[in-house]
Amino acid sequence: MSAPREPLLLRRWPGLDLGHVPLGTAPTPVRRLEGLVDDVDLWMKDESRFGDGAWAGNKVRKLEWIIPEAARRRTNTVFTVGGIGTHWGLACALYGREHGLRTVLGLVDQPVDDHVRQQLARLEASGATIHRYPTARQLRVAAPWLIATNIRRGKVPWYLPAGGSNAVGTLGYVETALEIAEQVERGELPEPSTIVAAVGSGGTAAGLVLGLRLAGLSTRVFGVVVNDSFALDAPVIAGLATKTAELLSSRGATELPVIGAADLDTADDWLGRTYGDPTPASVAMVAKGAAAGLELEPVYTGKALAAISDLAPTLDGPVLWLNTHGPR
């Protein structure tokens, strides 16, 4: 475990009625990337290094707030969903187990490659209870039964949406945006004109938008949508940011910004055929990243970098790319 640290959110509002458990070392490092994408002043914030257990990456940020909230709700089980290669599901199972939480996973089939096979094997070894379905629709139909059959000692499982992207989980990236602002203030990187991140469930982008406005930065968020299972456009992400602001307000935060769809940009041009489908451009970016010493994957990080490459002529000023992969 990392040494205890005071979250920036709790430093900003000392009386904030929210629990937090440190699961990784912050701040994660930032550095300029040379030669990966032409014609862009590209920087990376390396979220792949966030986490102290068997798995790292951006999902662990969300669990720092979700795990104590589960205790507050007096539940001993969480039920969550994702594809058979879900990074979120694995992080939830591993870190939840360390803190006395049982994880039930509803998994949907997705295109299978070596990375997905490896991830599914990790999931099966994680201690989670796994229920697998061919389609998202079949999982939605089964969800009430899964919740009912996993009640333990009278306690109903807490449902967490895909990616942990509810108002509580989104706090992880409000915190990260405040962290970026501090790194800018310390001169570790220039204020980005744009932050680019893959969008698989919306929580990362929503938290960044809210946190950047709290910090007073004018940086815009560009979300590269990689999931077609449900709507992930700017209004949906802004709505999640608004719910997170409402949660903060209900727990004692003040002077919160109003977030709308105009505060961010999203596009699904790099999705491919469906969620989990590697594209030639994302596979090429994974290979290019490997040559630069970065361990990436073709569903999230590869597609985000492919988007930056294609958008390079339109991107002014420094661009900060969020490396969200959890390679260990």
pLDDT for 8-46, tens place per residue? Answer: 999 999 999 999 999 999 999 999 999 899 999 999 999
Q: What is the pLDDT of residue 5?
A: 74
- The larger pLDDT score, comparing residue 5 to residue 232, is at 232
pLDDT digits (tens, 9 = 90+) for 164-209: 999 999 999 999 999 999 999 999 999 999 999 999 999 999 999 9
Q: What is the dihedral of CA 305, 200, 28, 49, to 10 degrees?
A: -90
pLDDT(143) > 60: yes
Is the N-terminal amide bond of 27 cis, ω within 30° of 0? yes
Q: Is residue 328 included in any domain, yes or no?
A: no
- Please indicate, yes or no, whether residues 190 and 298 belong to a single structural domain of this protein: yes
Q: What is the dihedral of CA 273, 278, 282, 283, to 10 degrees?
A: -140
- Please indicate, yes or no, whether residues 313 and 189 belong to a single structural domain of this protein: yes
Measured distance CA(179)–CA(12) in Å, rounded? 12
- Please indicate, yes or no, whether residues 181 and 52 belong to a single structural domain of this protein: yes
Measured distance CA(191)–CA(45) in Å, rounded? 13
Q: Is residue 64 included in any domain, yes or no?
A: no
**Domain final residue pick, 115, 132, 156:** 156
- Please indicate, yes or no, whether residues 214 and 306 belong to a single structural domain of this protein: yes
Residue owning tokens 């590209």 = 42
Structure tokens at 207: 């938290």
Q: What is the pLDDT of residue 4?
A: 59
Q: Is residue 316 included in any domain, yes or no?
A: yes
Number of domains in the chain: 2
- For 54, the domain range is 8-58+166-323
- Please indicate, yes or no, whether residues 187 and 276 belong to a single structural domain of this protein: yes
Measured distance CA(155)–CA(274) in Å, rounded? 36
Say what the pTM is. Answer: 0.94
Give me the mean pLDDT over the 294-315 stretch.
95
- Please indicate, yes or no, whether residues 201 and 241 belong to a single structural domain of this protein: yes
Q: What is the pLDDT of residue 116?
A: 86
**Domain final residue pick, 156, 175, 190:** 156
- Please indicate, yes or no, whether residues 186 and 256 belong to a single structural domain of this protein: yes
Mapping DSSP to helix (H, G, I), strand (E, B) and coil, where does residue 25 land?
coil
CATH of the domain at 21: 3.40.50.1100
Instruction: Name the band, by pLDDT with cuts 50, 70 and 90, for residue 1.
Output: very low
pLDDT(293) > 50: yes
**Domain final residue pick, 156, 190, 205:** 156
- Please indicate, yes or no, whether residues 271 and 206 belong to a single structural domain of this protein: yes
Q: What is the pLDDT of residue 133?
A: 96
pLDDT(327) > 80: no
Instruction: Name the band, by pLDDT with cuts 50, 70 and 90, for residue 47.
Output: very high
- Please indicate, yes or no, whether residues 145 and 44 belong to a single structural domain of this protein: no
Measured distance CA(129)–CA(135) in Å, rounded? 18
Q: Is residue 152 included in any domain, yes or no?
A: yes
Q: What percentage of the chain carries pLDDT values higher than 90?
A: 87
- Please indicate, yes or no, whether residues 236 and 150 belong to a single structural domain of this protein: no
Instruction: Name the band, by pLDDT with cuts 50, 70 and 90, for residue 54.
Output: low
- Please indicate, yes or no, whether residues 84 and 54 belong to a single structural domain of this protein: no
Q: Is residue 65 included in any domain, yes or no?
A: no
- Please indicate, yes or no, whether residues 186 and 304 belong to a single structural domain of this protein: yes
